[in-house]
Amino acid sequence: MNRHKDLRRIRRNRRKLWKSAVKFLANNWPAEKKQKLKRVIARDPAWYIHIHLDGGVRVRNALRENGFGESEFGITNLDNVLEHMLLEAMSY
């Protein structure tokens, strides 16, 4: 599956970029929406479906526009790693 392959590739080769992208999300996610997402994550194991369909495009585009796209990470699709990136960003 590409998802696991992409995560391994980033962990091996692009750790600093990953951390920068996570910090970008953490710092640019409005506080109110961040709290709402944390509540959704806590109560719904399928939380990512809500984000993927409702606002996921905006998040992916913001990442791409700020130098955190597929080509920078050397991956096939941000969708393959966005769930993990958001989880980490919500811990800040």
- Can you give the pLDDT of all 92 residues of the chain as single tens digits? 577 888 888 888 899 999 999 999 999 988 898 898 899 889 998 888 877 766 788 899 999 999 999 999 999 889 889 989 999 999 88
Q: Where are the domains of the chain?
A: 2-90
User: In this structure, how many other beta carbons lie within 10 angstroms of the beta carbon of residue 36?
Assistant: 11
Q: Which two tokens stand for residue 73?
A: 């990470």
- The position carrying tokens 């998040």 is 59
Closest to 25 in 3D by CA, of 35, 16, 14, 34: 34
The amino acid at residue 86 is L
Residues 6+ apart with CB under 8 A from 44: 50
